[in-house]
Amino acid sequence: MLDNHKVERSVPLLSVVGVSNSGKSTVLVKLVQALKDRGYRVAVIKHSCGFEVDQPGKDSWRYQEVGAGPVVLAGPKKIVVFKPCEEECEPEVIARSLDDVDLVITEGYKTGRRPKIEVFREQNSSDLICKPEELLAVVSDTRRDWGVPVFHLEDIPGLADFVETKFLKLSLRDE
């Protein structure tokens, strides 16, 4: 569909998962930086079991309380969108609302049929949590044969090459 000379396309979605304290955030921060250094625009959706960003009594909270939605808090260099959800909002739905990105990476969405890279530390777990059909790669402090590429925790350039080949170079060909 053409709209203002732009072609709508689906943005690739990748999940980074692992048990608690496996190093997901550390790996993801380094991966996002590596991809950004290569010129890609990466969005991150972090899953949380529950949180409250807004504060009771603040104007933006009051707007939400009376049913406004979404409510946007805008500052000189960033915005925050408060959008009520009836139920758990899936990453695919959230990703469709993100503009001007080449890749969306989620952290912590263990369920759902989407491609996953698992961060695995031998001290934290005895086995992977991913279903084999969803597992693309493993980032780990140990070498095991999981039937997929395994990257050491410090091999962020190798991981970035893998993600670029699997998700970004293909999506850029479609433009």
The answer to whether residues 23 and 119 touch, using CB atoms and an 8 Å cutoff, is: yes
Q: Return the pLDDT at 170.
A: 53
Quickly count: other Cβ atoms within 10 Å of residue 49's Cβ: 5
Pick the CATH number of 2-51+86-173 from 3.30.360.10, 3.40.50.300, 3.40.640.10, 3.40.190.10: 3.40.50.300
Mean local confidence (pLDDT), 113-130: 91
Task: Output the pTM of the full model.
Answer: 0.81
Residue carrying the six token digits 């999940």: 15
- Lookup: tokens for 22: 């496996």
The answer to whether the beta carbons of residues 103 and 38 sit under 8 Å apart is no
* Out of 9-23, 57-71, 149-163, least confident range: 57-71
| Amino acid (one-letter) located at 48 | S
CA angle 93, 86, 131 (to 5 degrees): 50
What does the pLDDT average to over 117-140? 92
CA 122: distance to chain centroid? 24
On the question of pLDDT at 169 being above 90, the answer is no
Burial class of 53 by CB neighbour count within 10 A (0 to 12, 13 to 18, 19+): exposed
87 pLDDT band, cuts 50/70/90, is confident
**Preceding peptide of 157 cis, ω within 30°:** no
Lowest mean pLDDT among 29-33, 57-61, 104-108: 57-61
